[in-house]
Amino acid sequence: MSAGPDRPGHRRRRHLTPDERALWKTVTRSVAPLRSAQTTEPESDEAPAPAPAAPAPTSAKPARLSSKLAQPAAPALAPLGRRLKQRVARGSAPLEARIDLHGLTQEEAHHALRAFLRTAQADGAKLVLVITGKGARGGVPFGGSERGVLKRLVPQWLRLPEFRSTVVGFEPAHVSHGGEGALYVRVRRAK
């Protein structure tokens, strides 16, 4: 059974009005066809005209793209795992170093974190504690500045490519080590 004009699923074809046809002809006359790649040999005995040379790139974007493609991808972050996290919380797996970022500005905290992780890696540490603080509870009264900035930013920093050479993964710490105001960070082995 075929779908007729009154049956669902059938689309009636709309015909162009004379004005629309005239407009369409005007548009199609102004459009130049794309050059197609020549797939067959030329029929004449003459040598084919050389293809015009591609213009030299004028912007720096292509150079940046090629350098991005040449760089190796940053290793993916891996979670700590439930067992390791339990062992750390019980104290059977040691935290080999810790840093407290309380009271530092964003720039100071970023530099301190990067230096701390590089030092921990050089010392052969496997698991460290990064204390960010919990921030203020509730809203910010009277239009004051935002609180808990480092708590929000440190995980973002640890995901950046610049930290991937030192960080294997990270997770929020157990309540005994600061809970939501601290992070366990697994340090990548130095090469």
What is the residue-wise DSSP string for 69-122?
Answer: HHSPPPPPP----HHHHHHHHHTSS---EEEE-TT--HHHHHHHHHHHHHHHHH
3 state SS of 92 = coil
Q: Is the pTM of this model over 0.75?
A: no
| DSSP β-bridge partners for residue 130 | 99, 183
Q: Which amino acid is at 29?
A: R
Q: What is the mean pLDDT of the chain?
A: 75
Q: Helix %, strand %, coil % for the chain, to 5? A: 40, 10, 50
pLDDT of residue 100: 92
* Alpha-carbon span 187 to 16, nearest angstrom: 68
pLDDT digits (tens, 9 = 90+) for 85-101: 788 888 888 888 999 99
The whole-number average pLDDT for the span 162-177 is: 86
pLDDT digits (tens, 9 = 90+) for 14-68: 888 998 888 888 888 877 777 765 545 445 445 455 555 555 555 444 445 444 5
The whole-number average pLDDT for the span 5-10 is: 60
pLDDT digits (tens, 9 = 90+) for 104-118: 999 999 999 999 999
State how far Cα 64 lies from the chain centre.
Answer: 17
Alpha helices in 41-105 (DSSP H): 61-70, 82-90
What domains are defined for the chain?
82-136+147-187 (3.30.1370.110)
pLDDT of residue 115: 94
Q: Go through the chain and tell me how many residues it has.
A: 191
3 state SS of 141 = helix
pLDDT of residue 174: 81
